Amino acid sequence: MRILSQSQENFFWQKLMAIVMVTNLLLVFFNITYIPLRDLYLQYLPGVVQQYDPVKGIEPNELTENYLQTVTQLEAAIAAQGPTAANSLAILEQLQKQSLAIVDENPFLLADKSATFARLKRRLRSFVGISSNREAFLTFWSPPFLAANSWPTIQTFFNQKLRPLIASNYFRETNEIGQFVDNFWRIDIYFIGFFALEFGIRTLVISRQTAGISWLDAIARRWYELPLFLPFWRWLRLIPAAVRIHRSRLLNLERLLGQMTHEPAAYLAERVSRFALVRLVNQAKEAVNAGEIAALDHAGNNYVQVGDPNKLDQLTDRLLRLVIYQVMPTIKPDLEALLRHSLQRALKASELYEGLQQIPGIQAIPQDMIAPISDYLAQASCDVLATSYADVEGRLLVDQLSHDFRQALGQELTQGGTQTELQKLLSDLLEEMKLNYIQKAKQQNPEDILEEVDQLDEQAPVTNYS
């Protein structure tokens, strides 16, 4: 016998819970839609009506039910004795009285089926050819009308056009506070108890298996499952059911949910991103205008430090290491060419070079004299920096140079004119970025971007939910 792993058992339980939730959700929607669709059930599935009417507190309406029974008696009497027999005439008179009672009392009102009653009266008036409801009913059940029209025609009209409308009427009980009786809770209470037990055990297990999470925290994280326990607003159970179906992969709802939220999510994401950008740029502008960037190295007590407080020194040290050991050797040929060019210009501009020009035979400085000098200076510059930074005393001198450089730069940046000019330039640059980005974002279709996100999601591996 093969033993299932813990993940397989959890996945199987997720599927089972999804099936139970779907079953309960179908019952909930059946209960919600039963009254509006009861006429269809009565016509095509009368057994369902017979079984479920007691759950909704529905009973046959006494007035309309007696009316149909009287019509059945008339059919039996005419079939046995004919329409002119004394028994048939007595039943016709009884039907006339019952018809007037139906017209006066409107037994369809309590069941909120006034539209059905209006349809019934309209059909009867059209068949009889009389505009008055009372006169139409009296004429329909009168002996002269039966004599002028064949009984099979009248019987067929009543059974096909009127009987289904009358049979759809019902009486529904009310409770002490005047609300209609609905005993669906007798069925739903088993599901509620099952869901509550499963919810309590699962959240308790999560709280014990996850560090730093209490039982209340685990319950709060599963807040969307609370409609499973509510005896009202049961249609909200669609939310936890959809989540469970998605997690258990009982049905693939990814595409459906994506299509349902595609356009709203696209434009909402666009507005959120633009809001975040504008807020970020505005906060940066406020920091620049307030001089917080220049004072970052000596921030006040309200400034929140993260990690080592000497981050600027470490950044400077790291940059110097990169420049000395990585950048300088790479740019050594360029540095040699620059020094060679500078030496040539410097010598040509010197008085010594003008004196040499007066010596016969010397018209220019040989290149083989300048090249070794420039190569030596370039190599010496790299070696001096590397040696000085590696040496303890040299390192102290470099650190002092770095410190003095930052101090001097900071003092110059905080000078009134320089600080104001830099703040204005940075503020204008941020404002320019904000305006241009937002304008460019308006020209892009957010749905195209969301489609790219969906394509990336499709390429991502499937996640197993616990």
Confirm whether 16 is domain-assigned.
Answer: no
Q: Which residue, of 169, 197, 220, is where some domain finishes?
A: 169
Higher pLDDT, 8 or 368: 8
> Quick check: 213 pLDDT over 90?
no
For residue 181, being part of any structural domain is answered with no
- Which DSSP helix (H) or strand (E) runs through 9? helix 6-44
Higher pLDDT, 255 or 134: 134
Mean model confidence pLDDT for the chain: 77
Residue 6 covered by a domain: no
Which of 72-76, 115-119, 206-210 is least confident?
206-210
Determine the average pLDDT of the residues in 157-186: 91
| DSSP 3-state of 172 | strand
Q: Cα–Cα distance between 188 and 31 in angstroms, integer?
A: 10
Q: Is the pLDDT of residue 1 over 50?
A: no
CB 170 within 8 A of CB 62: no
pLDDT at 171: 92
Please give the Cα distance from 185 to 191 (Å, whole number). Answer: 10
Domain boundary among 141, 169, 197: 169
pLDDT category of residue 29 using cuts at 50, 70 and 90: very high
In a domain, 393, yes or no: yes
Q: Say if residue 465's pLDDT is above 50.
A: no
Is residue 291, in this structure, part of any structural domain at all?
no
Which pLDDT does position 247 carry in this prediction?
78
Instruction: Specify the pLDDT at position 11.
Output: 74
Is pLDDT of 92 > 70? yes
Q: Give the distance, in angstroms, between the CA of residue 379 and the centroid of all CA atoms in the same chain.
A: 63
Residue 11: inside a domain: no
Q: What pLDDT does 74 receive?
A: 94
Domain range spanning residue 129? Answer: 61-169
d(C-alpha 35, C-alpha 113), whole Å: 11
Under the banding of pLDDT at 50, 70 and 90, the label for residue 183 is: very high
**Residues 6 or more apart in contact with residue 109 via CB below 8 angstroms:** 117
pLDDT digit string, tens, across residues 345-389: 665 665 555 565 565 555 555 555 556 666 666 666 666 666 666
Q: Is residue 36 part of a domain?
A: no
Q: Are 72 and 167 in contact, with CB atoms under 8 Å apart?
A: no
Region 81-107 average pLDDT: 92
Tell me: the pLDDT tens digits for 404-457?
Answer: 666 665 666 566 666 677 677 777 777 776 666 665 555 556 666 666 666 666
Region of residue 129 (phi > 0: left; psi between -120 and 50: alpha; otherwise: beta): left
Q: Of 111, 146, 169, which marks where a domain is finished? A: 169
**Residue 7: predicted pLDDT:** 60
The pTM of the whole model exceeds 0.85 = no
Given pLDDT bands bounded at 50, 70 and 90, which one contains residue 73?
Answer: very high
User: What Rg value do the Cα atoms of the chain yield, rounded?
Assistant: 46
CB 90 within 8 A of CB 52: no
8 A C-beta contact, residue 196 and residue 202:
no
Return phi, psi of residue 310, to 5°. -95, 45
Q: pLDDT, tens digit, for every residue of 289-331?
A: 766 555 555 555 555 555 555 655 666 666 666 676 677 677 7
Count the domains in the chain.
2
Residue 186, strand partner residues: none
State residue 3's pLDDT score: 44
pLDDT at 78: 92
- For residue 182, is pLDDT > 70? yes
Q: CA-to-CA distance for 56 and 54, rounded, in angstroms?
A: 5
Compare 253 and 105 and report the one with higher pLDDT.
105
- Report the range of poorest mean pLDDT among 37-46, 80-89, 278-287: 278-287
Question: Do the Cβ atoms of 28 and 141 come closer than 8 Å?
Answer: no
DSSP code string of 116-135: HHHHHHHHHHHHHT-S-HHH
Does residue 122 belong to any structural domain of this protein? yes
Cα separation, 117 vs 204, in Å, equals: 56
Q: Hey, what's the torsion of the CAs at 293, 297, 298, 301, to 10 degrees?
A: 80
Quick one: pLDDT at residue 120? 94
